[in-house]
Amino acid sequence: MLIVISPAKTLDYETPATTQTQTMPRFLNRSAELINELSTLSVQDVAQLMKLSDKLASLNVARYNSWTKDYDDSEGKQAILAFKGDVYTGLDAESLSEDKLAYAQDHLRMLSGLYGVLRPLDLMLPYRLEMGTKLANKGGKDLYQFWGNELTESLNEDLAKQEESVLVNLASNEYYKAVKPKQINAQIITPVFKDQKNGQYKIISFYAKKARGLMTRYIIDNAITDPEQLKRFDYEGYYYCESESEGNTFVFKREHQD
């Protein structure tokens, strides 16, 4: 089983890493091509392109200009520990043992605008480049055209190493659009999370993002291999709703949260 999740805008490079184990991203040469494009942009260009404040745009221009393929753990940090945000709050990677980090390395992938596909222990430098950014490049008008089939092919290579050919899609629509589902050589399971609010069950972005991280953690904790086992997911009060689930879309619901 292979899991895909999205990265996060918020990064943490201050907290010391909880492991010394590290790998390097697979697509560094491709990342360098994007950095070459980004390095030509001014602060104002970046602010407009990414809808950022001048302060954030300045920070990221500095990041692009100092980016290099030749870095180590004195500058980079393992992706699963560097990303922060709602998904990663649910995942709580800092509490993973070395054995569970090793399991995650084999079964979890983070899609990335800059790095393409990241394994949990891949060292990455701080950056901001969302997959939906319309950055013109040699491959086309945006990052979806830049990455083309590469991310799908990379996932298929990883799926070929799994005991069961199952892809659990816990990524946002923005990032999952970079994958070509019809070309994925696996059964694709898409969990959906609904929370009760005002007497109705609906997808609430904040809770749904955290739930994707909780589901990721559940799979890692239990070394899940069979999609049927996903239906037992019960972290933080979620439960499988058979009546609303259909095919490979698994719906999970939760009662009102105070």
Q: What is the DSSP string of 128-168?
A: ---TT----BTTBSSHHHHHTTHHHHHHHHHHTTSSS-EEE
What does the pLDDT profile of the chain (258 residues) look like in tens digits? 999 999 999 999 999 999 999 999 999 999 999 999 999 999 999 999 999 999 999 999 999 999 999 888 889 999 999 999 999 999 999 999 999 999 999 999 999 999 999 999 999 999 999 999 999 998 999 999 999 999 999 999 999 999 889 999 999 999 999 999 999 999 999 999 999 998 899 999 999 999 999 999 999 999 999 999 999 999 999 999 999 999 999 999 999 766
Which two three-digit tokens encode residue 213?
A: 């991280």
- CA atoms of 228 and 45, how far apart (whole Å): 48
Q: Check residue 51 and give its pLDDT.
A: 95
Which two three-digit tokens encode residue 227?
A: 């999609």
Angle, CA of 32, 169 and 98, to the nearest 5°: 70
Q: Check residue 164 and give its pLDDT.
A: 86
Query: For residue 148, is it left (φ>0), alpha (ψ between -120 and 50) or beta?
Result: left
Closest residue by Cα to residue 251 from 190, 186, 206: 190
CA atoms within a 13 Å half-sphere pointing along the CA-CB vector of 77? 16
Handedness of CA 84, 257, 214, 3 (dihedral sign): negative
Q: Which long-range contacts (CB under 8 A, 24 or more apart) does 13-20 make?
A: 13/77, 13/82, 13/126, 15/81, 15/94, 17/73, 17/77, 17/78, 17/81, 18/81, 18/93, 18/94, 18/96, 19/78, 19/81, 19/98, 19/101, 19/121, 20/73
Query: For residue 198, is it left (φ>0), alpha (ψ between -120 and 50) or beta?
Result: left
How many helices (H) and strands (E) would you count in the chain?
A: 11, 10
pTM of the model: 0.95
Q: Check residue 2 and give its pLDDT.
A: 97
Q: Check residue 58 and give its pLDDT.
A: 96
Q: Which residues contact 38 (CB under 8 A, 6 or more apart)?
A: 46, 64, 129, 135
Q: Check residue 258 and give its pLDDT.
A: 62
Closest residue by Cα to residue 111 from 60, 51, 154, 164: 154
Which two three-digit tokens encode residue 249?
A: 């879309």
